[in-house]
Amino acid sequence: MSNSLITIVGPTAIGKTSVGVKLAQHYHTEIISADSRQFFKEMEIGTAVPNKDELAAAKHHFIQHISIEDNYSVGDFETEALNLLDQIFQNNNKALMVGGSGLYVKAVLEGLDKFPEIDASIREQLNLDLQKKGLEPLQQLLVKLDPVYAKKVDLDNPHRVIRALEVCIGSNQPYSSFLHNSSSTNRNFQAIKIGLTAPRELIYQRIEQRVDIMVKNGLLAEAKSLYSKREMNALNTVGYKELFQYFAGNWSLDFAISEIKKNTRRFAKRQLTWFRKDEATKWFEYNSSIEEMIDYIDSKTLPEIK
């Protein structure tokens, strides 16, 4: 096996896209995006998709390839990404995967835990409960139904809480009982994992700068165009849900923007917590030279089989 999937991870706004493009150019290969927020055609500014120059500099996949109205799961992404990697490896023994969505990265590298099929009406009801009663009753229910998972999960993340509850309710078993049950998954590549980091104060500063740039570049108009579809799951995300509160007259614009910054900082903290659990990840400062990363990758790369 001589194929290598070089994976670039780290918190939002750390510079993963730029590093990925430079490495893709060096290795003359293509990039799989593992940023699930950037999948959606309608969400360009608020998800900081690569700009035109970056997209032209290296071939990207899974950027704005679906609609917020499409049904698209992490399992769909795993299947499509693995099929694409098979194609890339026909011509190049290296490929890049870049992104901060930990579950999507894990799906490609390791496979997913196996969960039972759940009636969609359960999630619909939980989402209605979230809208009407808020997150706290759902948090309390998860603590009751699955105290083991409740201690691990970010209880402030409604997506995670609802996902766990729908499995608990639909299967009548704790969500945690299905974790780490995936059978060993064979991959036709070795994973070389690189993480980008920086002092927390600098990460937060970069986040605030990015949000200000998004607002300057038209985030309000983009969010406004999606306001009528605000109940869709894809839009229950940082950068949009705060502005929906402004459009509804509940918050001032300044407060909404401050909440975007605060929630993005929290998101970055969760990303770092997730990725730092993997001891196989080699961490580099965000401003490390590309040459330093290339030396590390080449030291890990298996020789090509002739």
> Which class is domain 4-112+182-300?
alpha beta
Annotated binding site: 10-17
CATH 3.40.50.300 domain span(s) along the chain? 4-112+182-300
Question: Are 288 and 197 in contact, with CB atoms under 8 Å apart?
Answer: no
Max CA separation in the chain (angstroms): 65
What pLDDT, on the 0 to 100 scale, is given for residue 75? 86
Query: What is the chain's pLDDT, residue by residue, as a tens digit (306 residues)?
Result: 589 999 999 999 999 999 999 999 999 999 999 999 999 999 999 999 999 999 999 999 999 999 999 988 888 999 999 999 999 999 999 999 999 999 899 999 998 888 888 898 999 999 999 999 999 999 999 999 999 999 988 898 898 899 999 999 999 999 988 886 554 468 999 999 999 999 999 999 999 999 999 999 999 999 999 999 998 989 999 999 999 999 999 999 999 999 999 999 999 999 999 999 999 999 999 999 999 999 999 999 865 544
CATH architecture label of 120-178: Orthogonal Bundle (1.10)
DSSP 122: H
Annotated binding site for substrate: 12-17
Q: Which residues of 233-271 are buried (b: 16+ CB within 10 A; e: fewer)?
A: ebbbbbbbbbbbebbeeebeeeebbebbbebbbebbebb
Beta strand spans in the chain (E): 4-9, 31-33, 60-61, 94-98, 190-197, 282-285
Q: Which of 224, 251, 270, 246 is nearest to 101 (CA)?
A: 270
What is the pTM assigned to this prediction?
0.82
What pLDDT, on the 0 to 100 scale, is given for residue 185? 67
What pLDDT, on the 0 to 100 scale, is given for residue 302? 60
Annotated binding site for ATP: 10-17
CATH 1.10.20.140 domain span(s) along the chain? 120-178
